[in-house]
Every structure is written in structure tokens, then in C-alpha cells.
Chain A
Amino acid sequence: MSLQNEEVEVIIKVKRFSPEKGNWWQEYKLRVDRFTQFTEALRRIKTEQDPTLAYRASCHMTVCGSCGMKINGEPRLACKTLVLDMVKKYESNVITIEPMDYFKPIKDLIVDLDDFYQRMYKVKPRLYPSEQVLKGEAEHRLKPEDQRMLWKFAQCIWCGLCVSSCPSVRNDPEFLGPAAHAKGFRFLADPRDTITEEREKILLDSAWRCTYCYMCYNVCPRDVEPVTAIKKTRAYTKIAKVKTPVIETGEKHTEAVFNSIFESGKIEEAKVYLSTYGLIGSLRDMIFLLKSGKLNYALIKEKPVENITEVRKILRGE
């Protein structure tokens, strides 16, 4: 059988929800071929088997971002995912579909995205041009190298998958979330924008609340790499005028890491601890280490890199 004609019967188990009945699982059987996207599978279920099934889908081509959901537990766009790919990946023709995590469900696979939009609006997702440009007295110009750098972070389609899978969003109400950071950085680093200081105030404290778990990088259907945007945002700390305690601690820690590598080529934990948390904070952690029976390892002195001049040369960029 040619790949083009390959047809398989699959069972799609949908986690359904209504405010009246709560959650329940419902199974649908259908035949799919190698071109069937999940949006197409859902459309056929809705038109041929169950008109009560609710889901969002619009463009069917990874542009509108409306069909975010969990397929076999993976946060994905239904339009960008082929049914047979998941059958092959998980070696099973039974597939589960659930609404995205974190957001409040409204009906079946549809979730309330108000929280997501609020996060996006907080970072002022538009360019603030100069007065001269607004008056038509000058032109916006962007160097190709700047555009190349910004391009990636401008590709967000507001699907919400990264926020739905972010642990920091769930545990820290002051973290803006990955998508908002990607969008925020796209304007923060745009040389045509005029509200850099205001953007730093909005973005910097939040950037130090990201835990670098790379979930957003992994789930993004447009390869936006929000975590990279957050790392690049943190680099603005060096020039920021206003610094919150979270920013100050983070800055001390990163500088301590850099200094330790510069001095010895390795991370000397005791020095990094002291520089980041001060004497009292370090002593507190020493007590916890003592109780865990691990204090002996704190006294290990690791030998520095022999060719340290090379490491320093690399880091200085001489």
C-alpha cells in the first residue's frame, strides 16, 4: 500500500467539559489517512458524529493560533499535528485530546484566554515610534542584522501553549509568562522603539522569575524560543536604573557565576553562595546542608583550570 493510500482506524478520546456536567471522556472512531490533521479529525467528528463537541479552529495552517490543546498529553496545535504521526510516535491508535492546562475551561476543548490576553497587553505589544516618524518627518529604518535577531520573537501567534505549560506562571502571579516576554523583548530590542525604560520596568523583574525549564521552547509551534527572549531581556539588567530585590539577587548570582568562571574556569560553589546570598543566607544554607549530612562536600576545593588564561581570553573576547 502506498503511503498516500494508507488508512487507519483510530479511537480519539476527548476530555469533554460543561459547566453543568463537569468533565467526562468520550470516544470517537474514525478512519484517517496520512494527511489528516487533528483539526480535520475534529471537524469530521463534529459534522458526522457529534454536533455537540466544541473546539476552536480557524486557519488550519499554524497562523491563527486558535486550536491549542493537549494531544496525548503534549501541548500542540491541532492543525499542525497529523493524526498518523501521533499513532506512529506512541505506537497506539488510541489518542487522547484534552484542553490546554492552566486556563479555565469553558466548554470541551475551548478555554478562557482572557488571562493570556491580559498578560500580552501588559507588555504593550506594539511599536512606539518617535514623534518625527509619526509626523512623517523621518522614516523607520531597521538594519538587516537587527531584523534577523527580532524576527524569531515576532512570530508568536498568541496560541497560549507556552503559558499553559509554564510552571513559573502557575506558581508566581508576578511572572508575565513566556509569550508576553517574547513579545515584550521583540519591542524592547527594536531600535525604532522609544519607550525602552518603561519596557525595562515592565519586563525585567518578571524575567528573573523564569525557571529556565525550556517547556516554552519545546511546545512553541512557531519556534519562538520565549526562554531565549527572557535570557536576552535579563542582559538589560546591567543598564537598568530601577532594580527590585528579585533583580538584584539574580544579578548578583549571575555575576558571581561569571566571576567564578573567569577566575578559576569553574564554579566555586562557596564563593558563588557568599556573593549571592551574603554571609547570613549562606550560613543558613550551611545549617540545612549539615542536617542533610552533606556539609563535608561543601569543603571540597576543586582545582582550577590550568589553562586559565585561555578561558579568560575567551570570556573577555580579546
Chain B
Amino acid sequence: MSYAYYPGCASHGLSKDVDIATRKVFETLGLKLEEVKDWNCCGGGFLDEYDEIGHIALNLRNLSIVEKMGYTKMVTPCSVCLHSHRLATFKYKENKDLRKEAEKRMKGTSISYQGKATAEHIVWVLVRDVGVEKIKERVKRPLTGLRVASYYGCQMLRPEEIMGFESAYKPHSMEDLIAATGATPVPFPMNKACCGFPLMGSNPKVGIKLAFNVLKSAKDQQADIMVHPCSLCHLQLDSLQTRIMSEFNVNWTMPAIYITQLLGLAFGFSPEELGIGKYATEVLKSKGVI
């Protein structure tokens, strides 16, 4: 199977390890990821407030390229990129006024969106198209004994009518993938709550509090490590560990890795090959996983 691949800006920047691990996992599973040619930023959840029409047009530009490449699915490892593209196509199809304005904006460009290509999350593709059984077959290093908190966050689940893959209240895709590695999935009360990343650009004091709430909730359930499905949650939950320790005066960490980093470990890759950070590597060593 072959998919058009949209990494998104963060996965080619500070969350590069997300991109690295995703490519390795797909390759191991015999799946081809063909990067969308000359893709542009989706607007990262912010552009639509600044320029709603421009946001729609930019997202349709990517999907139009995907259609020209001969694909109907554009897979992304980032929940925000997923949300942005699906929101843009939803508005374009459902809101006549916005559609008219967006078409004016796209006139004279190369964009020719036919409505065939849609954005999908790589988690959906792994669970639905590949299947948990096939993933299990590739496991070389079962992560037995590792308690993994399953975090979903916001944008992969909500709004349900636009995301549509699973219930926003009782999702199970992340647990299914964790279980496939041999690790123990640990659901926790805040696993569908916001990580606070969108607030970091205006009200970081509360943004970091939201991140702390999520990490603490997982810690309270005795999880060893957390997995998440988003390049921007990665920036918030993984890269902010030391800042959280400092600002909330706590001496624990709750390392947060991307879901394909966990799968990659089970497939036999080393933490270094998957770009796994310092704190997560320490936990994996202490649990005897690596």
C-alpha cells in the first residue's frame, strides 16, 4: 500500500523524531509514504482566525496536489494538521458563502480540488488499513511490563462529525496499538483533555498548567511513559518536561513519546534510531525494555 504523506512543519522541525519514527514504522510494515510535492503549512490551527478564506485555500492546495499525485488519502502524523485539513474541506463543502470566497481566492492558481482527497491520521491507517494483527506480526521486542499511558488529546477526536474515526469519549485506537506492542495500555482521566499547546502563544501560564494536568493524571495511574498522536502535543508534553519540573516544583517526569516511536521500539529499533529523548530512554532502561 502507498499513501501520500504530509509531515507538517513541526515534524520537519522541533518534532523531527516524529517524522523519523513514522517513516521507519511504515517501511517496516511494507507501506510506502510518498511525501506531498511542494506542500505548504496547514496554518497550524491559528491561520483561520487571521484569514479564514486563506486557511481554506492553503489546505485545499495540499489536497489538490495529493489528487494530482493520484491519491485519495493524505496521511499525517500530526493531529493539528489533520484537523486543519479536515476543517477546511468541511467548510468548503458545507458553507456556500465560504466556498464562494475560497474559489475567488484560488482563481488563477494551480489549485483544482475535486473533493476526492481527504486527510487521515496515521493512527487511523495503522489501526484500520494495516490492522493490529499485522503490526503484532512485526514485533521483535515485546514491550512486556511497560505501562503506557494512552493520550489522544483534542484534534484527532473533535469535532466528531468532522474527524469521524472513533468516539470522542471512548476512543480505543491508541490502546489497540499499545497492546499490539506487548505493553500494557493505561487509560487515565485526562487522556482526552487538551495538552495546552494552543495557549502557549498567548497565555503560557495556563497552557503549561494544562500540560501539567495531563502528565500528572497519567503519573497518578502509575504509567511509566505516555504515547500521543500529535507533533504539537510532542512539543508541549515532551519538550516541556524540564520546564514543568521547574515551574511546578516536582521531581518526577512523565516522558511522552510519539506512538510510532513506541511501535518502532517493539519492531526492534533502538531509541537513538527513533530519536527518542533523554527522559524516555532513562525509563525504558529502568524498565528493562532496552
Contacts and interface: CB of A to CB of B under 8 A. Distances in A.
A209 interface: yes
A288 B243 contact: yes
Given A145-B97, A211-B199, A269-B10, A317 B158 contact: no
A289 B16 CA distance: 13
Contact of A300 (B16, B48, B110): B16
B209 A171 contact: yes
B142 interface: no
Given A266-B40, A297-B14, A314-B57, A292 B241 contact: yes
Contacts of B38: 305-307
Contact of A209 (B109, B202, B238): B202
B213 A73 contact: no
Contacts of B97: 145, 148-149
Contacts of A145: 97
Contacts of A258: 47, 50-51
Contacts of B129: none
A305 B9 CA distance: 11
A197 interface: no
Given A261-B43, A302-B13, A254 B201 contact: yes
B29 interface: no
A73 B192 CA distance: 12
Given A214-B154, A311-B61, A267 B44 contact: yes
A257 B47 contact: yes
Interface in B178-212: 193-194, 196, 198-199, 201-204, 206-207, 209-210
Nearest to B207: A211
A72 B44 CA distance: 32
A29 interface: no
A214 B162 CA distance: 11
B248 interface: no
A298 B10 CA distance: 10
Interface stretch (A7-15, A186-194, A230-238): A230-238
Interface stretch (A39-47, A60-68, A117-125, A245-253): A245-253
B108 interface: yes
B106 interface: yes
A171 B43 CA distance: 26
Nearest to A313: B109
Query: Is the contact region of chain A dominated by helix, strand, or loop, or is it mixed?
Result: helix
Contact of B242 (A209, A292, A297): A292
A231 B57 contact: no
Interface string B154-191: 11001110000001111000000000000000000000
B206 A171 contact: yes
Contacts of B194: 167, 211-213, 215
Interface size class of A (residues with CB under 8 A): 35 or more
Interface string B47-76: 111111110011001000000000000000
Interface string B119-153: 00000000000000000000000000000000000
A246 B50 contact: no
A214 B240 CA distance: 23
Contact of B239 (A149, A212, A250, A294): A294
A291 interface: yes
A261 B242 CA distance: 30
Contacts of B111: 314
A257 B159 contact: no
A231 B15 CA distance: 26
B159 A214 contact: yes
7 contacts: A171-B206, A211-B206, A213-B158, A267-B10, A268-B9, A311-B40, A313-B108
What are the 10 A-B residue pairs with the smallest beta carbon separation, nearest first? A250-B202, A253-B201, A213-B194, A231-B49, A293-B278, A214-B158, A267-B9, A208-B202, A291-B242, A213-B154
Given A74-B169, A145-B97, A292-B278, 20 more contacts: A148-B97, A171-B209, A172-B206, A208-B202, A208-B203, A211-B207, A214-B155, A218-B158, A231-B48, A234-B49, A249-B202, A249-B203, A253-B202, A257-B44, A268-B13, A269-B9, A294-B277, A314-B57, A315-B54, A317-B105
